[in-house]
């Protein structure tokens, strides 16, 4: 009898099949094969919150195939992903594929759990040499999370449907994430900018043409100067224009910059957004492909990176040694630190996986396998590879110089300062530099050689009016970072959370930044008023800690649910009685009703969005959700391209003459034609456009 190995995806099955050989049969469950029912709560509250799992109709055929394969196998290996969700899937597979003809005890010996964090021959063979039982503490922690989320979602969501609008939802992690975005928006709205002026003097040595700028920082005695108005700025400018300048002090020191640690889930999502403009969801989908394995030339299907849902920066000693050998061979011994670098895991409660995200083989350079990858796969693999290599390289060294300059006047003297930073040894930055969330990047500046007492010549004084800025809105990168820092969610939840809050229209993305919608404000305020714990950051973080304590066998999962549910139900009962119906203003599309002339608005019904007259019920004009883009169809040249919703509620753009003309695209059409061939340009990423005919790409202003 063959041995059966069950995994989640066909791609993973193909990669493992190549490693394990003919003695094994590989089957894919295609993700979860059992879950709580969609039609009702599915949690027996009076029976210790026992979850009632069902096999969805769509999975019935797969389950029957897996049952049959399990009956014919000598051993069933459950090779699902190495985290809590993977452990839970393994347990569900065991529960649904057991053959009732066998004794349960015999079947317990039949089923074995194998876990590996990279799909390589060495890692897989090692896992199969040391199979284990299913870890029920991991399963229970995942069950607790699922039950908690179901209780919150299925208890509060119907209330939102009745009191606000159909189709809304609430969730432990998504609702507190919306609150974070809303709170930041209100900070921005309440912010009052304060005027200030920056004064710079352009100077040079007496006999040199090369000039540099120094900024006024205060009086020569160290007293700080505030420049709140143009009047004060002009007064100081007049003073500086009459001053005598000389070098007061020159300070030089070497600064070392250390490389960033290899990626964990959150930092990968942050950096992929900063450098590649990949959403968290897109990043995780591509990373999953790289982890499960892709056909790479003569190697066949190969797992290219380690498991991508992790909050640990630990790296296996064999991978460290391989990386150090590569650095020494490729860049020379001077680029290699004396010892391997080890990075402390900073995420509280980190235990989702044992390793950071890294290439399974450092010598598999991105350029060598580029031809076998899609453009997005290559870009993400290149990012992961460079980050891992750089993490084991020598520090970059900079010469940092600070020069204090005195502007002397008869009654008072002023202090100006200039700084420079020059890279004298590149170290890791020849491979990789970590991206930043701030708009201003550090620039390398070289100053002329100056010594204390050098006399300087003033060329010109510059005034620059500025205003203090409100805190910035969140991007994909900064929101994921904030969730992680506050202990909200875990590696597996960041991407789906960010997708959900946009799908529910609680937030929208404007020029790459998250901004709450009116609906987001309303739902957040309602939850904040009646379910304070649900949107409380500290409460949500503490709940995550309790789920971690279930894994460590420090808490019973049922008691964790009960402690949450009892007060939650009281809040729910009260809210049901006191919350009044909330009216949200409909969004106008800038078009008049053809029947009565009143504005056309976007409505939401049980089947999604549609357009209707704002004069309802007097005027009952409606039509499907289709909004003109003002761009002519490039195929027929007669119809307009309309923004529409598919059956799956995804936005696409199609010709108004359908079905006569069937042109459609999922990319937003732009009014300006291609500068090369005159064809249709569409959005391609946050700030790029691509021609639909010749493929020409160009930068465009973000909308």
- Residue that is written with structure tokens 């500068």 in the block: 675
Residues with Cβ within 8 Å of residue 192, at least 6 apart in sequence = none
Residue 581: CA count within 13 A, CB half-sphere = 4
Q: Which of 371, 377, 350 is nearest to 278 (CA)?
A: 377
The helix or strand, by DSSP H or E, that contains position 327, with its residue range, turns out to be: helix 317-331
Strands 111-113 and 76-78: parallel
> How many angstroms separate the CA atoms of 35 and 43, rounded?
11
Strands 3-7 and 76-78: parallel
- Give helix 10-20 / helix 280-292 axis angle, nearest 10°: 20
Name the token pair of 466: 């500025």
Q: In a 3-state reduction of DSSP, which class is residue 157?
A: helix
> How many angstroms separate the CA atoms of 115 and 85, rounded?
12
How distant is the alpha carbon of residue 306 from its chain centre? 18
Q: Which of 453, 462, 331, 444 is nearest to 397 (CA)?
A: 444
307 has catalytic annotation: yes
> How many angstroms separate the CA atoms of 377 and 383, rounded?
10
Name the token pair of 370: 């580029």
**Choosing from 24, 77, 111, 307, which is the catalytic residue?**
307
Q: In a 3-state reduction of DSSP, which class is residue 232?
A: helix
Q: Which of 55, 48, 54 is nearest to 29 (CA)?
A: 55
> How many angstroms separate the CA atoms of 346 and 271, rounded?
17
The helix or strand, by DSSP H or E, that contains position 221, with its residue range, turns out to be: none
Residues forming the active site = 307
């Amino acid at each position: 009898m063959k041995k059966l190995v069950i995994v989640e995806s066909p791609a993973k099955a193909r990669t493992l099949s190549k490693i394990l050989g003919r003695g094994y049969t590989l089957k894919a469950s295609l993700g979860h094969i059992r879950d709580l029912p969609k039609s009702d709560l599915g949690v027996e509250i009076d029976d210790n919150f026992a979850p009632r799992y069902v096999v969805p109709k769509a999975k019935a055929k797969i389950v029957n195939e897996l049952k049959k394969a399990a009956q014919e196998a000598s051993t069933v290996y459950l090779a699902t992903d190495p985290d809590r969700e993977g452990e839970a899937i393994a347990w569900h597979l065991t529960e649904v594929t057991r053959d009732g003809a066998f004794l349960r005890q015999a079947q317990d010996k039949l089923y074995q759990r194998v876990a590996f964090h990279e799909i390589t021959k060495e890692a897989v063979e090692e896992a199969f040499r040391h199979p284990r039982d299913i870890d029920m503490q991991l399963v229970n922690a995942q069950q607790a999370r699922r039950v908690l989320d179901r209780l919150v979602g299925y208890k509060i969501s119907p209330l939102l449907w009745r009191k606000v609008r159909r189709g809304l939802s609430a969730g432990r992690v998504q609702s507190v994430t919306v609150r974070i975005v809303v709170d930041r928006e209100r900070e921005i709205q309440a912010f009052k900018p304060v005027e200030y002026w920056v004064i710079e003097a352009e100077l040079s040595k007496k006999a040199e043409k090369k000039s540099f700028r120094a900024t006024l920082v205060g009086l020569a005695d160290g007293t700080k100067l505030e420049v709140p108005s143009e009047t004060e700025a002009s007064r100081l400018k007049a003073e500086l224009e009459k001053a005598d300048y000389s070098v007061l002090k020159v300070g030089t020191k070497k600064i070392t910059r250390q490389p960033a640690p290899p990626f964990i889930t959150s930092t990968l999502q942050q950096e992929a957004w900063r450098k590649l403009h990949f959403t968290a969801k897109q990043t995780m989908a591509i990373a999953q492909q790289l982890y499960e394995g892709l056909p790479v030339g003569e190697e066949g299907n190969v797992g290219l990176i380690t498991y991508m849902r992790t909050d640990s920066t630990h790296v296996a000693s064999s991978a460290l040694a391989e990386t150090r050998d590569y650095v020494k061979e490729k860049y020379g011994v001077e680029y290699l630190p004396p010892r391997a670098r080890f990075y402390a895991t900073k995420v509280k409660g980190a235990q989702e996986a044992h390793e950071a995200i890294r290439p399974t083989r450092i010598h598999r350079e991105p350029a060598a396998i580029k031809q076998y990858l899609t453009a997005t796969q290559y870009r993400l693999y290149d990012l992961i590879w460079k980050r891992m290599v750089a993490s084991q390289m020598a520090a970059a060294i900079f010469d940092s110089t600070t020069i204090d300059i005195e502007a002397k006047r008869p009654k008072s003297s002023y202090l100006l300062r200039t700084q420079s930073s020059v890279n004298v040894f590149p170290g890791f930055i020849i491979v990789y530099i970590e991206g930043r969330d701030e708009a201003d990047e550090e620039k390398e500046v070289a100053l002329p050689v100056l010594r204390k007492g050098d006399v300087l010549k003033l060329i010109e004084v510059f005034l620059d009016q500025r205003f203090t800025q409100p805190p910035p809105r969140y991007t994909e990168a900064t929101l994921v970072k904030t969730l992680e820092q506050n202990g909200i969610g875990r590696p597996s939840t960041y991407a789906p959370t960010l997708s959900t809050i946009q799908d529910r229209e609680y937030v929208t993305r404007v020029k790459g930044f998250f901004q709450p919608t009116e609906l987001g404000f309303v739902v957040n305020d309602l939850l904040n008023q009646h379910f304070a714990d649900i949107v409380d950051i500290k409460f949500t973080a503490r709940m995550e800690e309790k789920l971690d304590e279930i894994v460590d066998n420090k808490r019973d999962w049922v008691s964790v649910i009960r402690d949450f549910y009892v007060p939650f139900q009281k809040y729910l009962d009260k809210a049901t009685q006191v919350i009044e119906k909330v009216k949200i203003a409909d969004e106008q599309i800038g078009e008049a009703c053809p029947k009565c002339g009143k504005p056309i608005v976007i409505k939401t019904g049980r089947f999604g969005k549609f357009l209707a007259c704002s004069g309802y019920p007097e005027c009952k004009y409606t039509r499907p959700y289709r909004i003109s883009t003002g761009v002519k169809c490039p195929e027929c040249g007669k119809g307009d391209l309309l923004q529409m919703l598919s059956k799956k509620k995804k936005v696409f753009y199609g010709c108004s003459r359908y079905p006569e003309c069937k042109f459609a695209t999922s990319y937003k059409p732009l009014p300006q034609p291609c500068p090369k061939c005159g064809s249709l340009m569409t959005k391609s990423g946050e700030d790029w456009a691509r021609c639909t005919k010749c493929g020409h790409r160009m930068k465009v202003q973000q909308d």
